[in-house]
Amino acid sequence: MRRAPERGVYDTDAIHAILDEALVCHVGFVPDPDDGQPYVIPTIHGRDGDTLYLHGSTASRMLRALADEIPLCVTVTLVDALVLARSAFHQTLNYRSAVILGRAARVTDADERLRALRVISERVLPGRWADCRPPTAGELRQTTVLSVVISEASAKMRDGHAGDPPADVTLAHWAGIIPLHTQVGGAQPAPDLHVGTAVPDYVPAGSLPRRI
Amino acid sequence: MRRAPERGVYDTDAIHAILDEALVCHVGFVPDPDDGQPYVIPTIHGRDGDTLYLHGSTASRMLRALADEIPLCVTVTLVDALVLARSAFHQTLNYRSAVILGRAARVTDADERLRALRVISERVLPGRWADCRPPTAGELRQTTVLSVVISEASAKMRDGHAGDPPADVTLAHWAGIIPLHTQVGGAQPAPDLHVGTAVPDYVPAGSLPRRI
Protein backbone atom coordinates (compact mmCIF):
# COMPACT_ATOMS: atom_id res chain seq x y z
CA MET A 1 0.00 0.00 0.00
CA ARG A 2 1.37 3.39 -1.03
CA ARG A 3 -0.10 6.58 0.35
CA ALA A 4 -0.73 9.50 -1.96
CA PRO A 5 1.44 11.86 0.06
CA GLU A 6 1.36 14.97 -2.16
CA ARG A 7 -1.89 16.50 -3.22
CA GLY A 8 -3.62 19.67 -4.33
CA VAL A 9 -6.37 21.03 -2.14
CA TYR A 10 -9.10 23.48 -3.07
CA ASP A 11 -11.02 23.35 0.21
CA THR A 12 -11.54 26.87 1.54
CA ASP A 13 -11.07 25.91 5.18
CA ALA A 14 -7.75 24.21 4.45
CA ILE A 15 -6.50 27.23 2.49
CA HIS A 16 -7.56 29.59 5.27
CA ALA A 17 -5.85 27.45 7.92
CA ILE A 18 -2.56 27.51 6.01
CA LEU A 19 -2.79 31.29 5.54
CA ASP A 20 -3.53 31.78 9.22
CA GLU A 21 -0.63 29.64 10.42
CA ALA A 22 2.08 31.20 8.26
CA LEU A 23 3.92 34.04 9.93
CA VAL A 24 4.84 35.74 6.64
CA CYS A 25 3.64 35.55 3.06
CA HIS A 26 5.58 36.17 -0.15
CA VAL A 27 3.96 38.59 -2.58
CA GLY A 28 4.81 38.36 -6.29
CA PHE A 29 4.13 41.25 -8.65
CA VAL A 30 5.50 42.84 -11.81
CA PRO A 31 6.07 46.58 -11.25
CA ASP A 32 6.81 47.30 -14.92
CA PRO A 33 4.90 45.22 -17.50
CA ASP A 34 7.32 46.40 -20.18
CA ASP A 35 10.26 44.49 -18.74
CA GLY A 36 8.12 41.75 -17.18
CA GLN A 37 10.51 41.40 -14.21
CA PRO A 38 8.68 39.87 -11.24
CA TYR A 39 9.57 40.74 -7.65
CA VAL A 40 8.83 38.56 -4.65
CA ILE A 41 8.75 40.38 -1.31
CA PRO A 42 7.97 38.99 2.15
CA THR A 43 5.44 40.72 4.36
CA ILE A 44 2.94 39.92 7.10
CA HIS A 45 -0.74 39.46 6.34
CA GLY A 46 -4.09 39.12 8.03
CA ARG A 47 -7.30 37.41 7.05
CA ASP A 48 -10.91 38.27 7.72
CA GLY A 49 -13.21 35.71 6.11
CA ASP A 50 -12.46 35.68 2.40
CA THR A 51 -10.38 38.84 2.53
CA LEU A 52 -6.61 38.91 2.87
CA TYR A 53 -5.12 42.14 4.18
CA LEU A 54 -1.64 43.55 3.58
CA HIS A 55 -0.28 46.75 5.06
CA GLY A 56 2.79 48.89 5.21
CA SER A 57 4.23 52.32 4.79
CA THR A 58 2.71 54.65 2.20
CA ALA A 59 6.33 54.96 0.97
CA SER A 60 6.54 51.21 0.20
CA ARG A 61 7.26 50.66 -3.48
CA MET A 62 5.51 47.31 -3.35
CA LEU A 63 2.29 48.68 -1.87
CA ARG A 64 2.27 51.59 -4.31
CA ALA A 65 2.63 49.18 -7.23
CA LEU A 66 -0.02 46.79 -5.86
CA ALA A 67 -2.47 49.64 -5.21
CA ASP A 68 -2.65 50.09 -8.99
CA GLU A 69 -4.54 46.78 -9.02
CA ILE A 70 -1.93 44.87 -11.01
CA PRO A 71 -2.00 41.05 -10.96
CA LEU A 72 -0.39 39.62 -7.85
CA CYS A 73 0.31 36.25 -6.28
CA VAL A 74 0.42 35.72 -2.52
CA THR A 75 2.07 32.48 -1.41
CA VAL A 76 2.56 31.09 2.08
CA THR A 77 4.58 27.99 2.89
CA LEU A 78 4.79 25.91 6.07
CA VAL A 79 7.62 23.40 6.20
CA ASP A 80 6.61 20.57 8.50
CA ALA A 81 9.45 18.06 8.17
CA LEU A 82 12.46 16.78 6.30
CA VAL A 83 11.56 13.45 4.71
CA LEU A 84 14.50 11.09 4.26
CA ALA A 85 14.29 8.35 1.66
CA ARG A 86 16.90 5.67 1.03
CA SER A 87 17.63 7.40 -2.30
CA ALA A 88 18.57 11.00 -3.05
CA PHE A 89 15.84 11.02 -5.68
CA HIS A 90 12.98 10.41 -3.23
CA GLN A 91 14.20 12.81 -0.55
CA THR A 92 11.60 15.52 0.03
CA LEU A 93 9.92 17.86 2.50
CA ASN A 94 6.54 17.62 4.15
CA TYR A 95 4.91 21.00 3.73
CA ARG A 96 1.68 22.90 3.25
CA SER A 97 1.48 25.86 0.92
CA ALA A 98 -1.26 28.12 -0.35
CA VAL A 99 -1.27 30.30 -3.45
CA ILE A 100 -3.68 33.17 -4.03
CA LEU A 101 -3.97 34.91 -7.37
CA GLY A 102 -5.76 38.22 -7.72
CA ARG A 103 -5.43 41.94 -7.52
CA ALA A 104 -5.25 44.17 -4.48
CA ALA A 105 -7.56 47.07 -3.76
CA ARG A 106 -6.76 50.02 -1.55
CA VAL A 107 -8.84 50.01 1.64
CA THR A 108 -10.10 53.54 2.23
CA ASP A 109 -12.92 53.13 4.74
CA ALA A 110 -11.57 54.21 8.15
CA ASP A 111 -13.33 51.44 10.08
CA GLU A 112 -12.18 48.72 7.71
CA ARG A 113 -8.62 50.06 7.75
CA LEU A 114 -8.48 49.88 11.54
CA ARG A 115 -10.10 46.43 11.53
CA ALA A 116 -7.55 45.21 8.96
CA LEU A 117 -4.64 46.44 11.09
CA ARG A 118 -6.12 44.68 14.11
CA VAL A 119 -6.61 41.46 12.12
CA ILE A 120 -2.98 41.53 10.94
CA SER A 121 -1.68 42.22 14.47
CA GLU A 122 -3.87 39.56 16.06
CA ARG A 123 -2.82 36.94 13.53
CA VAL A 124 0.85 37.53 14.28
CA LEU A 125 0.42 37.73 18.05
CA PRO A 126 -3.10 37.14 19.40
CA GLY A 127 -3.84 39.33 22.40
CA ARG A 128 -1.39 42.11 21.58
CA TRP A 129 -3.77 44.57 19.90
CA ALA A 130 -5.68 45.23 23.12
CA ASP A 131 -2.41 45.66 25.03
CA CYS A 132 -0.62 48.32 23.00
CA ARG A 133 -1.19 51.90 22.01
CA PRO A 134 -3.59 52.07 19.03
CA PRO A 135 -2.52 53.96 15.90
CA THR A 136 -2.81 57.74 15.90
CA ALA A 137 -4.39 59.67 13.04
CA GLY A 138 -0.90 60.62 11.89
CA GLU A 139 0.30 57.02 11.93
CA LEU A 140 -2.78 55.93 9.98
CA ARG A 141 -2.02 58.56 7.34
CA GLN A 142 1.41 56.94 6.91
CA THR A 143 -0.12 53.48 6.49
CA THR A 144 -1.41 51.85 3.33
CA VAL A 145 -3.88 48.99 3.74
CA LEU A 146 -4.69 46.71 0.81
CA SER A 147 -7.26 43.94 0.50
CA VAL A 148 -7.19 40.89 -1.74
CA VAL A 149 -10.28 38.76 -2.23
CA ILE A 150 -9.38 35.11 -1.68
CA SER A 151 -11.25 33.61 -4.63
CA GLU A 152 -8.67 32.12 -7.00
CA ALA A 153 -6.73 30.09 -4.46
CA SER A 154 -5.29 26.64 -4.08
CA ALA A 155 -3.20 24.72 -1.62
CA LYS A 156 -0.71 21.94 -1.94
CA MET A 157 0.53 19.70 0.82
CA ARG A 158 2.70 16.70 1.40
CA ASP A 159 2.49 14.43 4.40
CA GLY A 160 3.81 11.07 5.46
CA HIS A 161 6.93 9.05 4.73
CA ALA A 162 9.01 8.94 1.57
CA GLY A 163 7.89 6.86 -1.38
CA ASP A 164 10.86 4.48 -1.52
CA PRO A 165 10.37 1.87 -4.26
CA PRO A 166 10.43 -1.74 -2.97
CA ALA A 167 13.97 -2.37 -4.23
CA ASP A 168 15.28 0.50 -2.09
CA VAL A 169 13.68 -0.74 1.13
CA THR A 170 16.35 -3.42 1.36
CA LEU A 171 19.10 -0.76 1.50
CA ALA A 172 20.71 -0.12 4.86
CA HIS A 173 20.18 3.67 4.90
CA TRP A 174 17.97 5.17 7.59
CA ALA A 175 14.65 6.52 6.32
CA GLY A 176 12.03 8.52 8.10
CA ILE A 177 10.62 11.90 9.01
CA ILE A 178 12.46 14.69 10.86
CA PRO A 179 9.73 17.05 12.14
CA LEU A 180 10.44 20.78 12.33
CA HIS A 181 8.73 23.20 14.68
CA THR A 182 8.98 26.90 15.41
CA GLN A 183 10.32 27.35 18.91
CA VAL A 184 9.95 30.54 20.93
CA GLY A 185 13.11 31.61 22.73
CA GLY A 186 13.35 33.62 25.94
CA ALA A 187 11.78 37.09 25.73
CA GLN A 188 14.35 39.92 25.71
CA PRO A 189 12.90 43.04 27.38
CA ALA A 190 13.61 46.41 25.78
CA PRO A 191 16.51 48.12 27.57
CA ASP A 192 14.29 51.09 28.44
CA LEU A 193 11.43 48.94 29.79
CA HIS A 194 10.06 50.01 33.18
CA VAL A 195 11.48 47.76 35.87
CA GLY A 196 8.92 45.17 36.89
CA THR A 197 6.92 45.15 33.65
CA ALA A 198 6.12 41.47 33.21
CA VAL A 199 6.12 39.58 29.92
CA PRO A 200 2.42 39.37 29.00
CA ASP A 201 0.60 36.04 29.25
CA TYR A 202 -0.22 36.08 25.53
CA VAL A 203 3.45 35.92 24.56
CA PRO A 204 3.87 32.27 23.59
CA ALA A 205 6.44 29.99 25.15
CA GLY A 206 7.71 26.69 23.82
CA SER A 207 6.61 25.40 20.44
CA LEU A 208 4.37 27.59 18.32
CA PRO A 209 1.47 25.99 16.51
CA ARG A 210 2.68 27.90 13.50
CA ARG A 211 5.82 27.52 11.44
CA ILE A 212 7.85 30.39 10.10
CA MET B 1 20.64 57.00 20.62
CA ARG B 2 18.51 55.20 18.06
CA ARG B 3 19.90 52.24 16.19
CA ALA B 4 19.32 51.93 12.47
CA PRO B 5 17.63 48.56 12.78
CA GLU B 6 16.50 48.04 9.18
CA ARG B 7 18.95 48.20 6.34
CA GLY B 8 19.68 47.06 2.83
CA VAL B 9 22.77 44.96 2.27
CA TYR B 10 24.62 44.34 -0.96
CA ASP B 11 27.54 42.38 0.51
CA THR B 12 27.95 39.10 -1.34
CA ASP B 13 28.88 37.10 1.76
CA ALA B 14 25.79 38.31 3.63
CA ILE B 15 23.53 37.42 0.68
CA HIS B 16 25.11 33.97 0.39
CA ALA B 17 24.73 33.34 4.12
CA ILE B 18 21.01 34.15 4.01
CA LEU B 19 20.51 31.93 0.96
CA ASP B 20 22.36 29.07 2.64
CA GLU B 21 20.39 29.29 5.88
CA ALA B 22 16.91 29.34 4.35
CA LEU B 23 15.34 25.92 3.99
CA VAL B 24 13.12 26.94 1.07
CA CYS B 25 13.06 29.78 -1.42
CA HIS B 26 10.09 31.34 -3.20
CA VAL B 27 10.40 31.65 -6.97
CA GLY B 28 8.40 34.30 -8.81
CA PHE B 29 7.81 34.09 -12.54
CA VAL B 30 5.23 35.02 -15.18
CA PRO B 31 4.35 31.97 -17.29
CA ASP B 32 2.31 33.99 -19.81
CA PRO B 33 3.53 37.51 -20.56
CA ASP B 34 0.20 38.26 -22.25
CA ASP B 35 -1.77 38.12 -19.01
CA GLY B 36 1.15 39.21 -16.82
CA GLN B 37 -0.01 37.00 -13.95
CA PRO B 38 2.91 36.21 -11.63
CA TYR B 39 3.18 32.94 -9.74
CA VAL B 40 5.19 32.41 -6.57
CA ILE B 41 6.11 28.80 -5.84
CA PRO B 42 8.21 27.42 -2.96
CA THR B 43 11.06 25.05 -3.68
CA ILE B 44 14.42 24.02 -2.27
CA HIS B 45 17.65 25.40 -3.65
CA GLY B 46 21.39 24.94 -3.49
CA ARG B 47 24.29 27.30 -3.97
CA ASP B 48 27.76 26.76 -5.37
CA GLY B 49 29.73 30.00 -5.34
CA ASP B 50 27.79 32.55 -7.36
CA THR B 51 25.43 29.98 -8.83
CA LEU B 52 22.03 29.12 -7.40
CA TYR B 53 20.60 25.75 -8.37
CA LEU B 54 16.96 24.69 -8.57
CA HIS B 55 15.72 21.24 -9.46
CA GLY B 56 12.59 19.19 -9.84
CA SER B 57 10.61 16.91 -12.05
CA THR B 58 10.82 17.38 -15.80
CA ALA B 59 7.00 17.50 -15.56
CA SER B 60 7.09 20.60 -13.32
CA ARG B 61 5.26 23.49 -14.95
CA MET B 62 7.42 25.96 -13.09
CA LEU B 63 10.70 24.44 -14.25
CA ARG B 64 9.48 24.16 -17.82
CA ALA B 65 8.52 27.84 -17.81
CA LEU B 66 11.79 28.91 -16.16
CA ALA B 67 13.88 26.85 -18.59
CA ASP B 68 12.71 29.24 -21.32
CA GLU B 69 14.94 31.83 -19.64
CA ILE B 70 12.12 34.16 -18.63
CA PRO B 71 12.77 36.78 -15.91
CA LEU B 72 12.51 35.32 -12.43
CA CYS B 73 12.90 36.42 -8.83
CA VAL B 74 14.13 34.11 -6.09
CA THR B 75 13.46 35.30 -2.54
CA VAL B 76 14.37 33.72 0.77
CA THR B 77 13.23 34.98 4.15
CA LEU B 78 14.42 34.13 7.66
CA VAL B 79 12.20 35.35 10.47
CA ASP B 80 14.35 35.81 13.57
CA ALA B 81 11.96 37.37 16.09
CA LEU B 82 8.71 39.13 16.87
CA VAL B 83 9.51 42.69 17.95
CA LEU B 84 6.97 44.20 20.32
CA ALA B 85 6.70 47.96 20.57
CA ARG B 86 4.45 49.87 22.96
CA SER B 87 2.40 50.93 19.91
CA ALA B 88 0.74 48.83 17.23
CA PHE B 89 2.40 51.09 14.66
CA HIS B 90 5.98 50.21 15.65
CA GLN B 91 5.38 46.47 16.01
CA THR B 92 7.59 44.57 13.58
CA LEU B 93 9.65 41.46 12.90
CA ASN B 94 13.38 40.94 12.94
CA TYR B 95 14.26 39.16 9.73
CA ARG B 96 16.82 38.66 7.00
CA SER B 97 15.77 38.31 3.38
CA ALA B 98 17.56 38.06 0.08
CA VAL B 99 16.19 38.76 -3.39
CA ILE B 100 17.82 37.53 -6.60
CA LEU B 101 16.72 38.76 -10.01
CA GLY B 102 17.77 36.98 -13.15
CA ARG B 103 16.99 34.22 -15.57
CA ALA B 104 17.52 30.51 -15.21
CA ALA B 105 19.47 28.34 -17.60
CA ARG B 106 19.03 24.62 -18.05
CA VAL B 107 22.05 22.66 -16.77
CA THR B 108 22.89 19.99 -19.33
CA ASP B 109 26.43 18.90 -18.42
CA ALA B 110 26.17 15.55 -16.63
CA ASP B 111 28.86 16.34 -14.07
CA GLU B 112 27.39 19.73 -13.21
CA ARG B 113 23.88 18.26 -12.94
CA LEU B 114 25.06 15.69 -10.41
CA ARG B 115 27.08 18.30 -8.52
CA ALA B 116 24.02 20.59 -8.39
CA LEU B 117 21.86 17.81 -6.96
CA ARG B 118 24.50 17.11 -4.33
CA VAL B 119 24.77 20.79 -3.46
CA ILE B 120 20.99 21.04 -3.02
CA SER B 121 20.87 17.88 -0.89
CA GLU B 122 23.82 18.92 1.25
CA ARG B 123 22.40 22.37 1.89
CA VAL B 124 19.14 20.89 3.18
CA LEU B 125 20.80 18.14 5.24
CA PRO B 126 24.60 18.09 5.30
CA GLY B 127 25.96 14.57 5.36
CA ARG B 128 23.01 12.88 3.72
CA TRP B 129 24.30 12.72 0.13
CA ALA B 130 27.07 10.25 1.01
CA ASP B 131 24.60 8.14 3.00
CA CYS B 132 21.86 7.46 0.46
CA ARG B 133 21.51 5.78 -2.89
CA PRO B 134 22.71 8.13 -5.67
CA PRO B 135 20.41 8.88 -8.59
CA THR B 136 20.11 6.32 -11.37
CA ALA B 137 20.33 7.26 -15.03
CA GLY B 138 16.55 6.91 -15.24
CA GLU B 139 16.00 9.20 -12.27
CA LEU B 140 18.37 11.77 -13.73
CA ARG B 141 16.37 11.70 -16.98
CA GLN B 142 13.28 12.63 -14.95
CA THR B 143 15.06 15.55 -13.28
CA THR B 144 15.43 19.11 -14.51
CA VAL B 145 18.30 21.16 -13.07
CA LEU B 146 18.40 24.92 -13.54
CA SER B 147 21.09 27.43 -12.63
CA VAL B 148 20.72 31.11 -11.84
CA VAL B 149 23.74 33.39 -11.68
CA ILE B 150 23.63 35.38 -8.44
CA SER B 151 24.59 38.77 -9.84
CA GLU B 152 21.61 41.11 -9.38
CA ALA B 153 20.96 40.41 -5.72
CA SER B 154 20.26 42.32 -2.55
CA ALA B 155 19.43 41.58 1.05
CA LYS B 156 17.42 43.36 3.67
CA MET B 157 17.55 42.76 7.37
CA ARG B 158 16.17 44.10 10.59
CA ASP B 159 17.71 43.56 13.98
CA GLY B 160 17.32 44.95 17.47
CA HIS B 161 14.47 46.39 19.50
CA ALA B 162 11.49 48.40 18.31
CA GLY B 163 11.84 52.08 17.59
CA ASP B 164 9.39 53.39 20.18
CA PRO B 165 9.30 57.19 20.17
CA PRO B 166 10.21 58.79 23.54
CA ALA B 167 6.59 59.59 24.40
CA ASP B 168 5.68 55.90 24.14
CA VAL B 169 8.43 54.69 26.47
CA THR B 170 6.43 55.99 29.42
CA LEU B 171 3.53 53.65 28.56
CA ALA B 172 3.08 50.58 30.74
CA HIS B 173 3.00 48.02 27.89
CA TRP B 174 5.74 45.41 27.76
CA ALA B 175 8.20 45.86 24.88
CA GLY B 176 10.96 43.62 23.69
CA ILE B 177 12.07 40.85 21.38
CA ILE B 178 10.57 37.34 21.17
CA PRO B 179 13.19 35.20 19.37
CA LEU B 180 12.04 32.40 17.09
CA HIS B 181 14.07 29.30 16.23
CA THR B 182 13.53 26.20 14.16
CA GLN B 183 13.40 23.22 16.45
CA VAL B 184 13.94 19.64 15.32
CA GLY B 185 11.46 17.15 16.75
CA GLY B 186 12.01 13.48 17.38
CA ALA B 187 12.91 11.45 14.27
CA GLN B 188 10.10 9.13 13.12
CA PRO B 189 11.55 6.00 11.46
CA ALA B 190 9.85 4.72 8.31
CA PRO B 191 7.51 1.83 9.21
CA ASP B 192 9.45 -0.52 6.88
CA LEU B 193 12.87 0.44 8.30
CA HIS B 194 15.11 -2.50 9.16
CA VAL B 195 15.03 -3.07 12.89
CA GLY B 196 18.12 -1.62 14.52
CA THR B 197 18.91 0.98 11.84
CA ALA B 198 20.04 3.95 13.91
CA VAL B 199 19.21 7.59 13.21
CA PRO B 200 22.37 8.94 11.54
CA ASP B 201 24.60 11.33 13.43
CA TYR B 202 24.14 14.06 10.83
CA VAL B 203 20.41 14.31 11.57
CA PRO B 204 20.24 17.47 13.69
CA ALA B 205 18.71 17.55 17.15
CA GLY B 206 17.59 20.58 19.09
CA SER B 207 17.63 24.03 17.54
CA LEU B 208 18.72 24.34 13.92
CA PRO B 209 21.08 27.16 12.98
CA ARG B 210 18.67 27.80 10.15
CA ARG B 211 15.12 29.08 10.19
CA ILE B 212 12.37 27.73 8.00
B183 neighbors B106 (Cβ within 8 angstroms): no
Contact B178 A185 (CB under 8 A): yes
pLDDT-derived band at B1, boundaries 50, 70, 90: very low
Most A-contacting residue of B18, B26, B61 (CB-CB within 10 A), to test interface: B26
Put simply, the answer to whether A203 touches B35 (Cβ < 8 Å) is no
Predicted confidence (pLDDT) per residue in A13-71, tens digit: 999 999 999 999 999 999 999 999 999 999 999 999 999 999 999 999 999 999 999 99
Domain contains A1 = no
Is the residue at B35 inside a domain? yes
pTM: 0.96
Nearest chain A Cα distance for residue B106, angstroms: 19
CATH of the domain at A34: 2.30.110.10
Residue A202 near residue A131 (C-beta atoms within 8 A): yes
Instruction: Kindly state whether residue A141 falls inside one of the protein's structural domains.
Output: yes
CA pair distance A68, A64, nearest whole angstrom:
7
Of the candidates A174, A179, A193, the beta carbon closest to that of B198 is on A174
- Determine, for residues B72 and A204 on separate chains, whether the beta-carbon distance falls below 8 Å: no
- pLDDT-based confidence at B94, cuts 50/70/90? very high
Domain that residue B74 falls in: 6-207
Residues B84, B174: contact at Cβ < 8 Å?
yes
| Residue B162 belongs to a domain | yes
DSSP-derived letter for residue A133 is B
- Would A212 be classed as within a structural domain? no
pLDDT tens-digit readout, B10-49: 899 999 999 999 999 999 999 999 999 999 999 999 999 9
Residue B211 pLDDT: 57
In a domain, B144, yes or no: yes
Identify the closest residue of chain A to B203 by CA–CA distance: A178
| Domain assignment present for A26 | yes
* CB pair distance less than 8 Å for A37 and B73: yes
Total of domains in chain A:
1
C-alpha span between A100 and A153 (Å, rounded): 4
Residues of A in contact with B180 (CB under 8 A): 23, 182-185, 208, 212
Say if residues A12 and A149 touch (Cβ distance below 8 Å).
Answer: no
Calpha distance B121→B157 (Å, rounded) = 26
For A115-155, the pLDDT digits (tens) are 999 999 999 999 999 999 999 999 999 999 999 999 999 99
Inter-chain CB proximity B185 and A190 less than 8 Å: no
Strand, coil or helix: A37: coil
- Among A122, A123, A118, A127, smallest CA distance to A201 is for A127
Strand, coil or helix: B136:
coil
Average pLDDT over chain B, rounded to an integer: 94
Tell me what pLDDT residue A15 has. Answer: 97
In a domain, B20, yes or no: yes
